[in-house]
Amino acid sequence: MNTQGKPPSTAVRLAVLLLAAGEGSRLGSHPKALLKKDGLSLVRRFCSTVQYFNPVECIVVTGFHADLVESEIHAIQEVTSFPIAIVRNVSSKDGQASSVRLGLESLRSHFDVLLVALSDQPGVGVLEVQTLLDEYSKKELGQEIILPSVNERRGNPVLFSNAAVKTILASPGMVCRSYMDQNPELVRVMPTTLQSYLQDVDTLEDVQREKLTLS
């Protein structure tokens, strides 16, 4: 919910792509999506967040630890009001770009804007998503991407218009990061002080900082 305690509203049809295929190698090969904060897995917390925006579609890309992550998602599907589809990346060893591309190719809904998110950002909640959507509503002609920036550092999640996604898909092998790098004029940078756009979990030190548990 928003800061007034009411479900936020959005005039755009939102789709969501959640990347949850990582190995978690620096955590002893532990699935980061299943790290817990206040007793809930990060993937469950994220789904609770996006539920407030009534997404028309949510794609979760799994890879390493697929069986464990997918089991949690199946449990989440039973209590959510929006459609969640699981796509398993059998080439997850090829890196995040392969998961992004697979996720984009798996989209099936009629959406206006796509939220591309990571599964290991425990601080990303309703405020962060709403702030991105508010910025999207202010975009100028030709701006198709909303990129949060904290102290000139790129953050996540990132919003992509339907038109941008179609253009990416029309180029074989193209993914979001390289598309942004090649088309900076399409990117509306959103300066912000919200550190949660930068904070992800890679190491045990990060787990401690975010007050997470492994189980």
pLDDT tens, per residue, the chain with 215 residues: 444 344 454 479 999 999 999 999 888 889 999 999 999 999 999 999 999 999 999 999 999 999 999 999 999 999 999 999 999 999 999 999 999 999 999 999 999 999 999 999 999 999 999 999 999 999 999 999 999 999 999 999 999 999 999 999 999 999 999 999 999 999 999 999 999 999 999 999 999 999 999 98
In CATH, the number for domain 14-209 is 3.90.550.10
**Tokens 């009534």, residue located:** 54
Compute the Cα dihedral for 93, 99, 101, 107 and give only its sign.
Answer: positive
Helix H or strand E segment including 71 = helix 66-77
Residue 199 contacts residue 121 (beta carbons within 8 Å): yes
Helical packing angle, 126-137 and 42-51, nearest 10°: 40
Domain borders along the chain are 14-209
**Tokens 């405020």, residue located:** 127
What pLDDT shows up at residue 9? 46
What pLDDT shows up at residue 7? 46
CA 210/CA 37 separation, integer angstroms:
8
CA distances from 43 to 35, 118, 140 (A): 8, 9, 33
**What burial class does residue 83 get, using C-beta atoms within 10 Å of its C-beta: 0-12 exposed, 13-18 middle, 19+ buried?**
middle
Q: What are phi and psi of 188, to 5 degrees?
A: -95, 105
**Tokens 């997404």, residue located:** 55
